[in-house]
Structure 1
Amino acid sequence: MSSIRKIAVAVDGPAGAGKSSISKLVAQRLGYLYIDTGAMYRAITWAALHAGVDVKDEIKVTALLPSIDLRLEPTKDSFRVYVNNREITADIRSQAVTGHVSQVASYKSVREFLVEKQRQMARCGGVILDGRDIGSVVLPDAELKIYLTASVDARAHRRWLEVKDIEEVSLEDIKRSVKERDLMDTTRKESPLICVPEAVVVDSSNMSFDNTVEHIMKLIIDKSALLAEEAIQVKGDEK
């Protein structure tokens, strides 16, 4: 990849499709910068809950934003999340945050606050961002847009495996939560979850984690090579 210009990659899709874990590993293997936008929305949700703010009150959540100093700090294998110098990497994965993040993410003020931060982080190029409105709103000019999805059953089961040893929650409860979140994410007024026409759809329902990673890596490598060939062709035509 070193001889080919690194591109901006937007990965969108519903909750539980594996966007974050897959995008993170793909970025590591290709030498890209991974920006976990979902973690950023979770961090804002955690901050509101921690401050005792009613997350259903958009005005109060908006008023809290100026006091939130959000930072993602890369590590060798992942990243740490900080709010006002307090590490909350594990806290943002709690069921409480999971159950309220869609509500918080639906607020225009929160989206504007974080989208600006995300665009600033992406300006260096060679980045992979994942979320629900990356290809449509955050990086509309991304060279490659991927819509990573999976069935409700597959996503609920994956989520259950993540939390079953941490909290007591049934698979049916998680499945219900996944369906509710899908509805909220796709019908919210501000930047709803959509699959843009130019996106490459990847359904991982029956794909292993490793197979999905390899598939997305190939999409990126092939797209980068294609753009490199097109650039060479343009230069040749200009002579």
Structure 2
Amino acid sequence: MSTPENTPAHSIVIAVDGTSGSGKSSTSRGAAARLGLRYLDTGAMFRAMTWWMLSHDVDVHDAAAVAAHASRPRIESGTDPLGPTIALDGADVAVEIRSDVVNASVSPVSAVPEVRARLLELQREVIERALDGAGIVVEGRDIGSVVWPQADLKLYVTADPAARAARRAQEEGGSDAASVQASLEARDKIDSGRATAPLVAADGAVHLDTTPYTLDEVIAQVVTLVEQARAARPVTERATS
């Protein structure tokens, strides 16, 4: 794993964690595109793992069964922020992983330690490759706390539950906001309460409440924070970037 001592001086890693429906994905993609960075959606990796389990008739509520199969799926993440991709065993599954059945099953799969360990390895590999260039924005629920705690900037993105539900309902084509809010809050409870890599604000993370802002305004705030993080680097490091 790269460390502050051997990471290229021009590279930067931005860790974006937070609750479902808070705007993490849109914010992370937009900021990465504006900053010329790569982008990784770790949630898509967990969804791809979940879709594999469902497609192979593995009981997603049987942790032992999920653990026994966690090493089998081949998951590949494309990191272009303007067109991120997710492939499972060589096939594009960008549509399948957003289905209702995956939505209902991803939490128990994500809670299995063997799944998290397998995907943690893959996530770190993607970050390592991105460090050969300008760097990467990585979004999820444990990026700053577990996946890459040495990130140059850690963000914890939240929004008011009603605002989150309204946004997600709109994304889903007019779903009932009340039921969406209940689903989001249930997901938060599971993610925050799991024993392995729970959803938490990482040490040193900047809390960003997106409730009163437009997407463009939130992206602008993130870009400013990244520029400040770069400016705060030691002079000797900046001189070689």
Asked if Structure 1 and Structure 2 have the same fold, meaning a TM-score greater than 0.5 normalized by the shorter chain, the answer is yes
Q: 1:14 aligns with which of 7, 16, 19?
A: 19
Give runs of aligned pairs for residues 175-186 of structure 1, distance below 5 A.
175-186=181-192
Structure 2 CA distance for aligned equivalents of residues 11 and 85 of structure 1: 27
- Once the two structures are superposed, what CA deviation does each residue of 1:186-213 show, in whole Å capped at 9, x if it has no partner? 1111110111230001000111111001
- Partner of residue 144, structure 1: 153
Letter in 2 for 1:217: V
Partner of 1:220: 226
Contact 2:60 2:105 in 1 (8 A): yes
- Match for residue 60 of structure 2? 55
Moved segments of 4+, more than 3 Å: 228-233
Q: Deviations over 1:156-178 (max 9, x none)?
A: 1111011126xxx4221111101
After the TM superposition, which residues 121-136 of structure 1 pair with which residues of structure 2 at under 5 Å, given as runs?
Answer: 121-124=126-129, 125=131, 126-136=135-145
Between 190-199 and 69-78, report the one with greater CA deviation. Answer: 69-78
Provide the residue aligned with 1:209 in structure 2. 215
- SS of 2:233's equivalent in the other structure is helix
> Which AA in structure 2 matches 1:29?
R
Q: Which residue of 2 aligns with 1:5?
A: 10
Question: What runs of 5+ residues in structure 2 fail to find an aligned partner?
Answer: 1-8
Q: 2:41 aligns with which of 32, 36, 41?
A: 36
Give the letter for the 1:173 counterpart. S
Q: Call closer, same or farther: CA 1:232–1:82 in 2, change over 3 Å.
A: closer
Paired residues, number: 228
Question: In the alignment, which residue of structure 2 is the partner of 1:119?
Answer: 124
Q: Does 1:86 align with 2:95?
A: no
Q: Distance in 1 between matches of 2:110 and 2:216?
A: 30
SS in 2 for 1:116: helix
**1:193 corresponds to which residue?**
199
Considering only aligned residues, what root-mean-square deviation do their CA atoms show, in Å?
Answer: 1.9
Alignment identity in percent? 35
Larger helix proportion, structure 1 or 2? Answer: 1
* Inter-partner Cα distance in structure 2 for 1:218 and 1:228: 18
Is the CA contact 2:38–2:80 (under 8 Å) kept in the aligned structure 1?
A: no
Structure ID, larger Rg: 1
Deviation at 1:67, TM superposition (A): 2.1
Q: Superposed, which structure 2 residues align to 1:166-177 within 5 Å?
A: 169-177=175-183
TM-score, normalization by structure 1: 0.89
Contact 1:6 1:224 in 2 (8 A): no
Change (3 A) 1:85 1:232: closer
Q: Is 1:155 paired with 2:155?
A: no
Partners in 1 of 2:71 and 2:238 — Cα distance?
46
Quote the Cα distance in structure 1 between the aligned partners of 2:207 and 2:81.
Answer: 30
